[in-house]
């Protein structure tokens, strides 16, 4: 895989500006647990979103050493600057040109701050895209389809789930396709217009970060069984997505969400990210589905917010249901849907 980057080893830094939009994604089969170098312990599968996204412009200036300045919504953010500096510094052995550049990064998210929606996937994907663009510019090479694979590889080294935000539609990452970058997955026509309404149950910052949660899987009593379950679910999820089986897809979605939280509940240092309103919303949703047979299913990421996944054909009924029965349990609702992937701005 490093051969991808061999063509950039001898390039010199040139002044360049690149601006990209990258979307967030929601995992249907969860990445939870990793090995060295951001290699996932199991395969995962996600749906790329459309509305939750990050827009990032990076100005690359030749310099005698690496320097990173990051501005979030126009305001310098020293904590993020440091985080990105550490990330870019780790890439220098692979891409020596990065030791001779000053990165001025301006970034903003389309989703409001403090929604509990992780910006690391869209954020790292957008930065990786601007860096890959810079590499191509300095090398004088023209871009091929490998461009997105390479950006996915670089995004993965910043945040695992970010590598899946480089493609529209559905993507897999892990042994099923490749551990090093994500790969798009063709799905049945009926899933090309799935919706994801996100119930922001709490916008408070998580008590335990995802990165620490992955770490707790290293000594987890159930780790190996969980990795086996995820790989098993991934194969079933791919067949549900390719055959158009919404009920099978929905049952995997919910099982994966609960298994993810079960890992937190049973980890060596147990913790709970679910809130009373998360459980109330799940109960109301399950009752609604039993009563109406409308195929709306939930998933969760590493937090209390509920993602409701449903087909476009049921949108009207689901929105009425959300507004009348669930909105009082959440601080805010973001209506998102399947997206087409990153865009050069």
The footprint of ligand DP6 (CB under 6 A) covers: 27, 30-32, 38, 44, 118, 120, 159-161, 210-211, 214, 260, 301-302
Residue 136 CA to residue 259 CA, distance in Å, equals 41
> What does each C-alpha distance from 257 to 28, 38, 147, 295, 338 come to in angstroms?
8, 22, 32, 17, 19
Nearer to ligand DP6, 234 or 281 (CB): 234
What is the chain's Cα-based Rg? 20
109 CB-side CA count, 13 A:
17
Nearer to ligand DP6, 32 or 310 (CB): 32
Nearer to ligand DP6, 30 or 149 (CB): 30
Nearer to ligand DP6, 173 or 288 (CB): 173
Nearer to ligand DP6, 30 or 220 (CB): 30
Nearer to ligand DP6, 117 or 296 (CB): 117
Nearer to ligand DP6, 120 or 178 (CB): 120
The set of long-range contacts for 290-297, using a CB threshold of 8 Å and a minimum separation of 24, is 292/317, 292/321, 294/318, 294/321, 295/246, 295/247, 295/250, 296/321, 297/249, 297/250, 297/251, 297/253, 297/254
Residue 181 CA to residue 149 CA, distance in Å, equals 6
Residue 246 CA to residue 188 CA, distance in Å, equals 10
Nearer to ligand DP6, 39 or 344 (CB): 39
CB of 118 to ligand DP6, least distance (A): 6
CB of 32 to ligand DP6, least distance (A): 6
CB of 265 to ligand DP6, least distance (A): 14
CB of 26 to ligand DP6, least distance (A): 7
Burial class (CB in 10 A: 0-12, 13-18, 19+), 308: buried
CB of 134 to ligand DP6, least distance (A): 22
The set of long-range contacts for 213-216, using a CB threshold of 8 Å and a minimum separation of 24, is 213/32, 213/263, 213/264, 213/267, 213/302, 214/32, 214/33, 214/34, 214/160, 216/263, 216/264, 216/267, 216/268, 216/269
Q: How far is CA 109 from the centre of its chain?
A: 14
CB of 29 to ligand DP6, least distance (A): 8
CB of 120 to ligand DP6, least distance (A): 5
CB of 158 to ligand DP6, least distance (A): 7
């Amino acid at each position: 895989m490093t051969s991808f980057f061999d063509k950039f080893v001898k390039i010199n830094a040139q002044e360049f500006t690149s601006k990209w939009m990258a979307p967030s994604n929601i995992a249907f089969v969860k990445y939870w647990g990793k090995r060295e170098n951001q290699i996932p312990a199991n395969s995962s599968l996600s749906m790329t979103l459309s509305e939750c996204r990050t827009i990032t412009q990076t100005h690359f200036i030749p310099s005698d050493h690496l320097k990173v300045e990051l501005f979030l919504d126009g305001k310098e953010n020293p904590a993020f600057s440091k985080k990105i500096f550490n990330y870019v510094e780790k890439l220098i052995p692979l891409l020596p040109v990065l030791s001779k550049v000053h990165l001025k990064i301006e970034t903003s998210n389309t989703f409001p701050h403090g929604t509990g929606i992780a910006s690391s996937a869209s954020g790292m994907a957008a930065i990786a895209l601007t860096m890959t663009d810079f590499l191509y510019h300095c090398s004088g090479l023209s871009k091929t389809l490998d461009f997105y694979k390479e950006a996915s590889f670089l995004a993965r080294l910043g945040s695992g789930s970010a590598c899946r935000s480089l493609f529209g539609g559905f993507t897999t990452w892990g042994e099923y396709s490749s551990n090093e970058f994500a790969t798009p997955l063709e799905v049945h026509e009926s899933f090309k217009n799935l919706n994801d309404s996100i119930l922001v149950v709490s916008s408070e910052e998580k008590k335990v970060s995802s990165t620490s949660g992955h770490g707790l899987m290293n000594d987890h009593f159930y780790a190996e069984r969980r990795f086996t379950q995820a790989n098993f679910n991934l194969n079933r999820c791919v067949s549900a997505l390719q055959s158009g089986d919404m009920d099978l897809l929905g049952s995997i979605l919910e099982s994966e969400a609960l298994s993810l939280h079960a890992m937190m509940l049973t980890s060596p240092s147990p913790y709970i990210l679910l809130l009373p309103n998360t459980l109330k919303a799940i109960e109301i949703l399950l009752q609604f589905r039993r009563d109406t047979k409308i195929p709306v299913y939930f998933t969760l990421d590493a937090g209390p917010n509920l993602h409701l996944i449903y087909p476009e054909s049921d949108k009207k009924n689901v929105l009425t249901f959300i507004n009348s029965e669930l909105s009082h349990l959440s601080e805010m609702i973001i209506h998102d849907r399947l997206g087409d992937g990153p865009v050069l701005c």
